[in-house]
Structure 1
Amino acid sequence: MELLVSVDIKQTGDDLHEPFLSGLDFLPDGRLVAVDNNNLKCIMMNDRLQLLGTPYKFNIYPYDVVCLSQCELAVTTLSKKVCLLSVSSDNVISLTRQINTSTCVFSICCMTPTTMVVSTYDAPRPVRMITHGGVESDFDRVLFNKKTYKFEESKCTFVPSKNTLVLTDRDAHTVYMLDTVKGTSRAVTHDNIQEPIGACVGPGDSVLVCSMAKNSIVHLTVDGDILCTYHVDMRSPYTLCMKNDGSRFVVSGCKNGMKKLMMYKLS
């Protein structure tokens, strides 16, 4: 793993608070999208992690972001809403519409071109599916543990080619690998998996997970085998995303006064 770019996340301009980049994703053209939870913003960056255009300003707290296409984003927010945003080639971000959800939603990722997967909190089911039209459904074949997660206790991602749902359990120091077709599940624990939170699909249909308490990224297969552990030069890595071609990933931390955004190359 090679560090390409590192930036300190500082309060600047019209920021009322220290920025907290709680969600990240790459557009297909390589631009990076981030949501700043503390300052209610959606921002665009280039491959040097430099700001592009003018940030979009929310009127509610944003949590996570996923790129649905070349020009469309979905952002989970407070108040049981998913905001659909459009982004132009010259980095103008605008609100298209909002989806009202029946439960509180937190992390978000793509399952298919028309279906998103969201993690929930204060809800009986920790993960749900939502279509672009706002239709909600459950993973009926998946047996989740009987646990209601609180805010920031769990996130999810989905590996489409393996039909695998990945669910992190921060307090239990566990990553669950759930086969949504067979209905099987595997609980992955390891000394290097401590306070796991953000997760994303890695190269070759693998999974990358932020291990907050270990200041590292754990690289796993969907079968739960640990391939490698990468130490990152930041405190409490919180969220991450990988470029579509698997060439690089970006991770941000959540430690107050020490927040960083770092881009790495994987070989």
Structure 2
Amino acid sequence: MAKDITNVSMEDLEAVEDLEAVKKLEEYVMCSNHNRGDIKFYCKDHDVPCCEVCFKEDHLTCKVIDIRKEIPILVCNSKIDKLSADLKKIGRHFMKFIEMNESCVVNLGTEINKLMGQIRKERKKINVILDELEKQVKNDGSAIYREVAIKKQHENQQCLILLDAVKSSQNAFESVYRYGSYFQKYLIADKARSQLLYYNNQVVEKFQKTETVKVMLKLSPQLLSIASASVSELGKVQYIAGSKILPLKGFQRQTYQVNVIGYFDLKVPAGAVARYTGVTFLPGNRLMLADYDNKQCILLNSSFQLITSHALTGIPYNVCVIDDEEVAVSFINKNKIHILSVVDDVIRPVRKMPIKYNCNGIASAGKGQMVVNWYCGNNKSEWILTNKDGLIQISHQYDCLLNAFDTYHYYLALNNANTRLYISADNINSLLCFDMAGNALFTYKAANLVNPKGVAVDNHDNIYVVGLQSDNIHQLSSDGSLLQVLTSGVPLCPLAICFHKTYLVRQIVKAEHNFV
């Protein structure tokens, strides 16, 4: 039987030669969530050990026992040997998965080399065609050159004969004028005028009838389209990612148990109505709700008791955390997001962030960023990743298939690594999944998911989407596979939902009372 870590003395630890092992032993008796406080309790409701802070914050209403008194029973029930064997088995499968991924990378490199070979092959084909074209151009050009050269040579020979005649006439004229009589001069001048007219006409005729020659290369439209095309138009590498379910003997996907902890009446005054369309956890296990009907947001403590409320200038729809001190609120029919500070349990308006369209869906993306969703017309919706000052980091549009009677009050959630975005599209009764490059990864749709609204992701990247009209919650794996449909303990008309490390919180409307 394994040694009881909680009873190991410092003398025993000092006797251990492997100091790294000692440090690991010390870690197992400390709480990693609250400044490494001692583990003192065990919560039977959630099957987790906890320290005093964990107990006070999250487990006051749970069945909690002193872990040191119950250690022998707990260790016995945990079946150490089987756990060890199962861990080794899972470890082997992880190693196999790593090997498969490494093989995938190697194969990808081979495929890319094949693509390069394909380009070289296509280039050779094009070069062969261009070589043939060059040969044809050379032959045709040589034939044209010979024809034009012969013609021009013949014209030049005629001009040389005329040039000799002109020179002969000029010499005779100059000789007679130098040595001849007046009568001879008169006759040679008359003859020269007649010859000059003939020579002048010949010059005019030569210059008017001569041909100027140039050649052009008339390329085919196919070749011109290649030459004028951009690189992306000629071709590009397509990245095709697909999911493949591999055979895995002895393993099945496990669902995580979801239990109803309780209902909390928020004490709505008689005759008043309140719908909490947005919900999120704040630091210190506080909870903020968007009160749709009363145009306010309210702040609850860790016991879900009212701390304060803050009146808003519009109808709030959703709310999300930006950082430790600020939250963002989206509104119905408003092209603005309000940024509020929540310090010392006091809610104060900070600024308003203008946006392009009426926004409803909003979700925290960590590091002061958030994802915002809106309908932008022409059956298109758009989601953007923005920081708290409104600077857009990423923007992607997608088809939303709206008609005149549809609404577009979409809810958003991101996985823990902020690499996947989930959007509940109530108009098509579907949950959409995108990566942050805007690629659609999957669409989840089920007959018993009607008017999906709130979306949440737990610590294991399981997805929860509520059905407003189907009165249920669908629990999905990170790849969109259905794990289970939660109906037991789910009140009528679940709407907003968010995930805490311990509690899954949802809001419904029933009569005059409101619950989370």
- TM superposition score category, shorter chain reference: 0.7 to 0.9
User: Which residue number corresponds to residue 72 of structure 1?
Assistant: 326
Give me the CA root mean square deviation. Answer: 2.4
Q: Are 1:253 and 2:504 an aligned pair?
A: no
User: Which residue number corresponds to residue 288 of structure 2?
Assistant: 33
Shift of 1:10: 5.1
* Pair 39,122 (structure 1): closer, same or farther in 2 beyond 3 Å: farther
User: Which residue number corresponds to residue 155 of structure 1?
Assistant: 411
User: Which residue number corresponds to residue 434 of structure 2?
Assistant: 178
Q: How does 1:6-45 map to 2 (within 5 A)?
A: 6-9=263-266, 11-12=268-269, 17-45=272-300
Farther-moved stretch of structure 1 (144-153 vs 163-172): 144-153
Q: Are 1:187 and 2:443 an aligned pair?
A: yes
Q: More helix per residue: 1 or 2? A: 2
* Pair 239,157 (structure 1): closer, same or farther in 2 beyond 3 Å: same
1:167 to 403, 413, 423: 423
Which structure exhibits the higher relative contact order, with contacts defined as CA atoms closer than 8 Å and separated by 6 or more residues? Answer: 1
Helix, strand or coil at the partner of 2:351: strand
Any idea what the Cα deviations from partners look like across 1:29-67, whole Å, max 9, x if unmatched?
211111101111111112332101x31111111111111
User: Which residue number corresponds to residue 471 of structure 2?
Assistant: 215
User: Which residue number corresponds to residue 196 of structure 1?
Assistant: 452
User: Which residue number corresponds to residue 223 of structure 2?
Assistant: none
* Pair 182,94 (structure 1): closer, same or farther in 2 beyond 3 Å: closer
Contact kept, 8 Å, 1:111 with 1:160, in 2: the verdict is no
Any idea what the Cα deviations from partners look like across 1:47-100, whole Å, max 9, x if unmatched?
332101x311111111111112222111112421111111122x1100011101
C-alpha distance in 2, partners of 1:17/1:154?
A: 26
Shift of 1:226: 1.3
1:130 to 375, 386, 411: 386
State the one-letter code of the partner of 2:347: I
Any idea what the Cα deviations from partners look like across 1:180-203, whole Å, max 9, x if unmatched?
248242111223322211112223
Shift of 1:153: 4.4
The sequence identity of aligned pairs, in percent, is: 21
State the one-letter code of the partner of 1:83: H
State the one-letter code of the partner of 2:259: E
Shift of 1:160: 4.7
C-alpha distance in 2, partners of 1:145/1:233?
A: 31
Structure 1 unmatched runs, 5+: 263-267
Any idea what the Cα deviations from partners look like across 1:212-242, whole Å, max 9, x if unmatched?
2221111112211112222243211111111
Farther-moved stretch of structure 1 (96-105 vs 207-216): 207-216
TM-score relative to the length of structure 2:
0.46
* Pair 5,49 (structure 1): closer, same or farther in 2 beyond 3 Å: farther
TM-score relative to the length of structure 1:
0.85
State the one-letter code of the partner of 1:77: F
User: Which residue number corresponds to residue 178 of structure 2?
Assistant: none
User: Which residue number corresponds to residue 206 of structure 1?
Assistant: 462
Farther-moved stretch of structure 1 (161-170 vs 4-13): 4-13
Q: Are 1:239 and 2:496 an aligned pair?
A: yes
Helix, strand or coil at the partner of 1:178: strand
User: Which residue number corresponds to residue 356 of structure 2?
Assistant: 102
1:228 to 484, 501, 515: 484
Q: How does 1:43-54 map to 2 (within 5 A)?
A: 43-52=298-307, 54=308
The number of equivalent residue pairs is 253
Instruction: List structure 1 runs of 4+ shifted beyond 4 angstroms.
Output: none
Q: Are 1:88 and 2:333 an aligned pair?
A: no
State the one-letter code of the partner of 2:498: C
Structure 2 unmatched runs, 5+: 1-257
Contact kept, 8 Å, 1:8 with 1:258, in 2: the verdict is no
Helix, strand or coil at the partner of 2:283: coil
Larger Rg: 2
Farther-moved stretch of structure 1 (181-190 vs 16-25): 181-190
C-alpha distance in 1, partners of 2:471/2:430?
A: 16
Helix, strand or coil at the partner of 1:213: coil
Q: More strand per residue: 1 or 2? A: 1
